């Protein structure tokens, strides 16, 4: 189960990094490319939500006593998802410097613009060259500049935060790998210790069996010597009896001849 959760985590990290990069590019794109990029980001946001749902299902299957760490990580991912959606909404209405110049005119210090500012302080629509351009008051221009600066700062902060989260996640994964490696090393050491103990027991058994074989061999040798002695004595007895019978038979024959 944990391997599936970690796989979803990796996919979520890669996907959110791509979304963050694309969100920061949206304000600088021309209208056509911006529309295409917005559609692409919307699709990836849906994929990120599906990954969160899969991770949430995996967390629910974890035993309650081990669920706390994963629940904290899920809360962090959901907060990150909410921040991404907020930044995406802002990026769709933010203007780049080129777009802002398009709205304010190619040259804010032109004589036409200066005449307009002197004419009145309220927004006014004027015709310039062959196209229609909007002219705004200096206060509104400053407001747009401030909003753009805030947006750039937030984008940079979000990118840094994403990198920080990614680095933190990498450290956590490395820590989990080290912990798993340490656990494997401990288990391997235990198995090795058990094998050494088993080999020691087997060695003792072999030594005892060898000693019994030596004792048996000694007993067999002793028995062999005893049997050999008994056989020799039997042969001697048989030989003596045979000689006695032969002598008796000869004596009987000699007496008979007389």
Find out whether 26 and 152 touch, Cβ atoms under 8 Å. no
Q: Whole-angstrom Cα distance, residue 245 to residue 234?
A: 16
Round the CA-based radius of gyration of the chain to a whole number and report it: 51
- Greatest extent of the chain over all pairs of C-alpha atoms, in Å: 189
Instruction: Determine the distance from the C-alpha atom of residue 145 to the mean position of all C-alpha atoms in its chain, rounded to a whole number.
Output: 45
Higher pLDDT, 121 or 104: 104
**What's the pTM value of the predicted model, to 2 decimals?**
0.40
Torsions phi, psi for 110 (to 5 deg) = -65, 160
Domains and CATH numbers, the chain: 1-94 (1.20.58.400)
- Counting Cβ atoms within 10 Å, is residue 217 exposed (0-12), middle (13-18) or buried (19+)? exposed
Q: What percent of the chain has pLDDT over 70?
A: 67
Check pLDDT > 90 for residue 47. Answer: yes
155 pLDDT band, cuts 50/70/90, is low
Higher pLDDT, 20 or 252: 20
Token pair for 179: 């912990």
Q: What pLDDT does 44 receive?
A: 93
Q: Whole-angstrom Cα distance, residue 21 to residue 37?
A: 11
The pLDDT tens digits of the residues spanning 123-134 come to 333 333 333 344
Instruction: Determine the distance from the C-alpha atom of residue 126 to the mean position of all C-alpha atoms in its chain, rounded to a whole number.
Output: 62
Token pair for 168: 């933190």
Average model confidence (pLDDT) for the chain?
A: 75
Q: Taking residues 148-175, what's their average pLDDT?
A: 72
Find out whether 47 and 13 touch, Cβ atoms under 8 Å. no
Could you say which DSSP state residue 132 is in? E
């Amino acid at each position: 189960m944990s391997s599936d959760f970690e796989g979803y985590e990796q996919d979520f990290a890669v996907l959110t990094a791509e979304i963050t990069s694309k969100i920061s590019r949206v304000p600088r794109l021309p209208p056509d490319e911006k529309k295409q990029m917005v559609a692409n980001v919307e699709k990836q946001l849906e994929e990120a939500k599906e990954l969160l749902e899969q991770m949430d299902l995996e967390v629910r299957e974890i035993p309650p006593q081990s669920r706390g760490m994963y629940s904290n990580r899920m809360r962090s991912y959901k907060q990150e998802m909410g921040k991404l959606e907020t930044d995406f909404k802002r990026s769709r209405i933010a203007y780049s410097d080129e777009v802002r110049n398009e709205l304010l005119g190619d040259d804010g210090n032109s004589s036409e613009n200066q005449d307009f500012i002197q004419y009145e302080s309220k927004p006014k629509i004027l015709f310039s060259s062959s196209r229609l351009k909007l002219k705004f008051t200096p206060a509104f221009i400053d407001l747009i500049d401030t909003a753009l600066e805030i947006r750039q700062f937030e984008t940079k902060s979000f990118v840094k935060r994403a990198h920080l989260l990614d680095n933190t996640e990498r450290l956590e994964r490395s820590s989990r790998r080290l912990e798993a490696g340490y656990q494997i090393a401990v288990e391997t050491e235990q198995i090795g210790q058990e094998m050494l103990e088993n080999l020691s027991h087997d060695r003792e058994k072999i030594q005892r069996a060898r000693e019994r074989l030596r004792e048996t061999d000694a007993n067999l040798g002793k028995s062999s010597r005893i049997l050999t002695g008994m056989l020799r004595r039997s042969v001697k007895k048989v030989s003596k009896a045979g000689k006695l019978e032969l002598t008796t038979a000869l004596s009987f024959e000699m007496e008979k001849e007389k």
